[in-house]
């Protein structure tokens, strides 16, 4: 099994008045994980890709399992559950340093071509090189 793994230190900017991560910050952390995966593992950084393409989230399922608090470090994992022509279904898991699940879920991403007018957007199949890179993270269940 091949996972893309990153650590995330919980900072003051992530928490709410109760001292725990405010739930939208978890979604930002997930987006950071996806962006890092595309740049570091797939060699497709967003700053280059978004000149003519994109990879929007079209479906998101999240379960909040345990609070994360200021100063803690969580381990974020991402893998591919399904690779389709122009989309992929990824699983993700955030764990605390004790190995307890903090957050888990699935995110569906679609590879899109953005028109020169920046208004038209249409699904576009992944090329073979990208399919091979993404396939490295494919885990059969």
DSSP characters for 62-89?
A: EEE-S--BTT-EEEEEEEEEEE-SSEEE
CA-to-CA separations, 86 to 9, 52, 109, in angstroms, rounded: 33, 15, 9
Provide the 3-class DSSP secondary structure of residue 30. helix
Residue 19 to residue 136: CA distance in whole angstroms? 38
Residue 141 is assigned to a structural domain of this protein: no
How confident is the prediction along the chain (141 residues), in pLDDT tens digits per residue?
599 999 999 999 999 999 999 999 999 999 999 999 999 999 999 998 888 889 999 999 999 999 999 999 999 999 999 999 999 999 999 999 999 999 999 999 999 998 888 788 899 999 999 999 999 999 976
Are the beta carbons of 108 and 88 closer than 8 angstroms?
Answer: yes
- CATH classification of the domain holding 128: 3.10.129.10
- Domain membership of residue 45 as a residue range: 4-135
């Amino acid at each position: 099994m091949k996972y893309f793994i990153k650590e995330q230190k919980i900072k003051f900017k992530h928490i709410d008045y109760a001292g725990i991560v405010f739930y939208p910050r978890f979604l930002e952390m997930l987006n950071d994980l996806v962006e890092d995966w595309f740049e570091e593992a797939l060699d497709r950084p967003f700053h280059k890709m978004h000149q003519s393409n994109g990879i929007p989230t079209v479906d998101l399922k999240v379960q909040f399992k345990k609070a994360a608090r200021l100063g803690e470090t969580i381990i974020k994992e991402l893998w591919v559950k399904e690779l389709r022509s122009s989309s992929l279904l990824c699983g993700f898991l955030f764990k605390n340093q004790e190995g307890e699940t903090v957050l888990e879920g699935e995110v569906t991403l679609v590879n899109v071509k953005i028109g020169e007018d920046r208004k038209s957007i249409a699904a576009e199949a992944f090329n073979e090189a990208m399919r091979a890179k993404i396939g490295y993270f494919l885990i059969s269940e």
